[in-house]
Structure 1
Amino acid sequence: MTADVDLTVRPPGPHVLRDRFLALDCRLFEAVATRHWPGGDHVLPRLTRAANHGKLWFAVAAGLAATGSPRARRAAVRGLASLTLASAAINTVGKRSVRRPRPVLDKVPLVRQLKRQPITTSFPSGHSASAAAFAAGVALETRGLGAAVAPMAAAVALSRVYTGVHYPSDVLAGAALGVGAAYVVRGLVPARDRLPSSGYPRAEAPALPDGEGLVVVVNRGAGTADRVSALQEVLPRAETVECEPQDLPDALEKAAARARVLGVCGGDGTVNAAAGAALRHGLPLAVLPGGTLNHFAADLGVEDARALGHAVRKGEAVKVDVGRFASGPEEGAEEGPEKEGIFLNTCSLGVYPELVREREHREERIGGWPAGVLGALRVLRADRHPLRTRFQDRPHPVWLLFAGNGTYHRMGLTPGRRSGLADGQLDVRVVHGGRRPALRLVAAALAGPLTRSPAHAAVRVPRLQVEGLAPGTLLAYDGEVTDVAGELRLSKLPEALTVYRPLVPHGPRER
């Protein structure tokens, strides 16, 4: 009698695979620990200590910001945001999910060992996660700077094994988590090159190789001295006229009367005034960002004097839409003052104009960003009622009515960037009136471009009419504030303004 023999080859079980993986991990750790790396005993322990609590990456970010390049500053911010998210994930979930003990240091030479050994669990490596997150975040904003930072990040990751505080798998897992965090940040706040591009209509504009014929009006109140010096280096024959904020309208009119191209250096409010003068005189506009936010210049793609100088020298320009507002008494009402103006970015009613007014009261004493935060807290915490308006003869209380000159695309939780400035549309967002303005405003921000929700509505139209505004209602436009009453009419002046802009690699569409 013969017994049946089972010759089937079965794959190893999960426990066998785990044991093999851990054995390989230990062999790799010992290979690194026992190998002498020229200069490593002096450099890598110091590098790993420098990276404690992210200090190394904060220093690198400060260096990037100090270059003055807008792209480098954005890369630094994106890198730090990625690092913050990765560190939070490591400390809240990562270290608690796999409680792996640290490696035994018997094989690690004493000269490499850290004086203070970490007391947390080994898996995954927080240093590696932070290094990979920062480098990946920088690279997702600009590949060149990412390539420069990557070797340092790799050295920090290697140092964790070299000094004996992590196994290789801890480092790989941490690095993967860090890269993932950078991609999550990019999903929330896309880099500019990932925004959909709707193109810009090409415009004819004078090419000024050395800047002769360009008159740039500079708002001294915006702190623009360094930017003007940079512009003079790239366009040495351009004329610059510095003025105080209160003298800006007169300076713009005088400059426009003798210029071939009107230039301006300042924030969005200053650029708004310059755009009005350029329209009245039929001149192209050259914008050098010089304010705190510079929304128009950022959306246009003009980041600094070098970019503007290139466009002016080559005669590269595009046409952009201009928003227009007009306010006056409603039909059948008593005569009242007529007000009108233009906006290049946004126009809004409700809590935002009040926030701008509150910010203006404080920014000279404490600066723009702190003043904005305090203003927002004061406005949202105040006991107030929504703005009373009428649309199509129906009462409609609102906390906020926002109208953008062109379609704003999602940049994270709120709309923040336009990929084209000549789509002929007003991007209208309304936060409906209710009992809790803060909650409704947050809900509207989270909703983004949804067209309908209980707290928020969005629509894109070429014109809009709002009625029933009480006298003294505040209207904010491009960071400036005025008061309106009665009827407010918003409309577009399609492709009315010619603005210098460096042509992107794929170029604006021809017309």
Structure 2
Amino acid sequence: MFKFFGAARRRISGVDRELVHRCAGLPRSVVDPAMRGLSWSANHSKVWFALAGVLVLRRGPARRAALRGVAAVGASSAVTNLLAKQLLPRRRPATELLPSRRRLATPPASSSFPSGHAASAAAFTTAVCLESPLLGAAIAPLAAAVAYSRVHTGVHWPTDVGVGAAIGCGIGLATRRWWPVPPAAPGLARPSEHVAALTDGDGLALLVNTSSGDADHDPSTELRELWPDAQVLHTDPDEDLVDQLHRELDAAGSSIRALAVAGGDGTVAAAAATAASRGLPLAVVPAGTLNHFARDLGVSSAADTARALAAGSAVHVDLGSVQVDNHREQWFVNTASLGGYPDMVRLREKWEPRWGKWPAAAAALVRVLAEAEPIEARIDGQQRRIWLMFVGNCAYQPKDFAPSWRPHLDDGVLDIRYVRADLPLSRLRFAVAALTGALLNSKTYVQQERASTHVEVLGEPVALACDGEVTAPGRSFTFAARDEALRAYRPEGAD
């Protein structure tokens, strides 16, 4: 066995020396100072942090790519410098193997194996690729040049660079463990065969909430141009929106064949409740801040909505419902929550534009758990103390503390999650499990999928948040999945 490993090591060393000799034989060129400068710029991952600083200025995939890339660089640096270099020491290439014009002024003195520069370059590029393949492809040549510069300047053997790059790629891919990548495709749902095809808006009731989303952008003009014959519904912010919609639709009479809504998820939920109870198909225009329901439907713009309306293309989707004490049943399209969860969502959405969703969710979780008061409750007859509770319309992914997307929009279940407060050091145990990706194995975290659930609060009344809208506190909460309760327009081919 020892002879085998010794022979393999000698063969690898021979290959390394041969490749270094060939590299040394390359003629003098402008590449020599460029490689020295590039190698220096990658010290302490300066080049990757600079790129991340540029990418983070843009919202969406670029910002997520920057944050994921920085996380991957930090992890790869820890693995290579604190672990691999200490366990597998190796001498750097001898200075006489390369001409002096190539050498660095201050060569590193640490172990040659593996290359931390190559690991950071590969980790950053791989992480960026997960969020934006185009950005990753643009950065890849720079990453390859940084990795090669370590051989060109004589501070690493080629195998150091190869192994370092492999470590970086693995760590970049491993970020999906605690920071899942949402799928590009929307949630699946059963197509509907009987919805009105509306081109110019004749037979369409249009509700626009101008206070949703970007305060400087009013989509009303654009939507009136898309559907000039639509009947615009006017609302009073001081009155219940569902009651107003029913009144407006009653006044419009039987001419209305579909309801369209432009606003945030709270406005969409009110329109969905109204449409479902009246048997009308719903067209959603993404005009809010996050547009979770529109995104899961596969609708990213008003043009998508117009295309679906013109084709009469729709799917059956579920809705969730909740009855608080003896009040009227409320409907939700995305989520309902109790305890500290509404505060966590509020903080996450506040910090998300600056940090990205997953870092913001982690910070919000720590903040809420530190300040939360436990809730004494009876959940489906079982007495529990909980910190917070989440109820999703349909099963969400991932299954940990930051549910983000739905593979199906018509699975007929509620996604129920809560954090237990009746176990020793429950907050600390939960936070550690969440941040290490081991949440599903933690006893502090409960995740179930059921058609209904009943929660009875045994102490002071607690507030309920439905699709981001906080309602009056209550003690009795009955949640239920309403299977295929709504027909929603979706562009053909979106799934």
Same fold (TM over 0.5): yes
Greater CA drift, 370-379 or 158-167:
370-379
Change (3 A) 1:318 1:66: farther
Match of 2:37 in 1: 46
Question: Does structure 1 retain, via aligned residues, the 8 Å contact 2:64–2:356?
Answer: no
Match of 1:185 in 2: 175
Greater CA drift, 298-307 or 346-355:
298-307
Match of 1:4 in 2: none
- Inter-partner Cα distance in structure 1 for 2:321 and 2:101: 70
Greater CA drift, 408-417 or 95-104:
408-417
Q: Cα offset for 1:424?
A: 0.7
1:273 corresponds to 2:270: yes
Match of 2:407 in 1: 419
Q: Cα offset for 1:41?
A: 2.9
Map of 1:63-462 to 2, 5 A cutoff?
63-64=54-55, 68=59, 70-193=60-183, 199-203=188-192, 205=195, 215=206, 217-220=208-211, 222-223=213-214, 225=216, 232=222, 237=226, 246=237, 253=245, 260-266=258-264, 268-279=265-276, 282-288=280-286, 290-291=288-289, 293-303=290-300, 311=308, 315-329=312-326, 338-353=327-342, 355=344, 379-382=368-371, 384-389=373-378, 391-392=380-381, 395-410=383-398, 415-434=403-422, 436-439=425-428, 441-442=430-431, 448=439, 454-462=443-451
**Secondary structure at 1:152 match in 2:** helix
Give the gaps of 5 or more residues in structure 2. Answer: none
- Residue by residue over 1:187-212, the C-alpha shift from the partner in whole angstroms, topping out at 9 and shown as x without a partner, is 443433399x9731113555667889
- Inter-partner Cα distance in structure 1 for 2:316 and 2:214: 28
Question: Does structure 2 retain, via aligned residues, the 8 Å contact 1:211–1:236?
Answer: no
- Inter-partner Cα distance in structure 2 for 1:438 and 1:295: 28
Match of 1:22 in 2: 13
- RMSD between superposed Cα atoms in Å: 4.5
Greater CA drift, 220-229 or 496-505:
220-229
Letter in 1 for 2:415: D
**Secondary structure at 2:471 match in 1:** strand
- Inter-partner Cα distance in structure 2 for 1:94 and 1:19: 20
Question: Does structure 2 retain, via aligned residues, the 8 Å contact 1:444–1:456?
Answer: no
Question: Does structure 2 retain, via aligned residues, the 8 Å contact 1:325–1:491?
Answer: yes
Q: Cα offset for 1:405?
A: 0.9
**Secondary structure at 1:424 match in 2:** coil
Q: Cα offset for 1:175?
A: 0.6
Q: Cα offset for 1:31?
A: 1.6
- Residue by residue over 1:44-90, the C-alpha shift from the partner in whole angstroms, topping out at 9 and shown as x without a partner, is 3333333333333344445555565x444444444333333222212
- Inter-partner Cα distance in structure 1 for 2:427 and 2:338: 16
Question: Does structure 1 retain, via aligned residues, the 8 Å contact 2:461–2:475?
Answer: no
**Secondary structure at 1:409 match in 2:** coil
- Inter-partner Cα distance in structure 2 for 1:301 and 1:74: 20
- Inter-partner Cα distance in structure 2 for 1:95 and 1:53: 16
Change (3 A) 1:208 1:163: farther
Change (3 A) 1:494 1:103: same
Q: Cα offset for 1:117?
A: 3.0
Question: Does structure 1 retain, via aligned residues, the 8 Å contact 2:379–2:454?
Answer: no
Give the gaps of 5 or more residues in structure 1. Answer: 1-9, 330-337
Q: Cα offset for 1:156?
A: 1.8
Question: Does structure 2 retain, via aligned residues, the 8 Å contact 1:288–1:302?
Answer: yes
Letter in 2 for 1:472: P
Letter in 2 for 1:177: I
Aligned-residue identity in percent: 36
Question: Does structure 2 retain, via aligned residues, the 8 Å contact 1:188–1:411?
Answer: no
Match of 1:479 in 2: 468
- Residue by residue over 1:228-248, the C-alpha shift from the partner in whole angstroms, topping out at 9 and shown as x without a partner, is 59x95x996257999999479
**Secondary structure at 2:461 match in 1:** strand
Match of 1:497 in 2: 486
Question: Does structure 2 retain, via aligned residues, the 8 Å contact 1:207–1:315?
Answer: yes
TM-score under structure 1 length normalisation: 0.76
Match of 1:3 in 2: none
Change (3 A) 1:222 1:115: farther
Letter in 2 for 1:264: A
Question: Does structure 2 retain, via aligned residues, the 8 Å contact 1:328–1:484?
Answer: no
Change (3 A) 1:56 1:484: same
Greater CA drift, 428-437 or 486-495:
428-437
Match of 1:6 in 2: none
- Inter-partner Cα distance in structure 2 for 1:222 and 1:148: 32
**Secondary structure at 1:380 match in 2:** helix
Letter in 2 for 1:427: D
Match of 1:35 in 2: 26
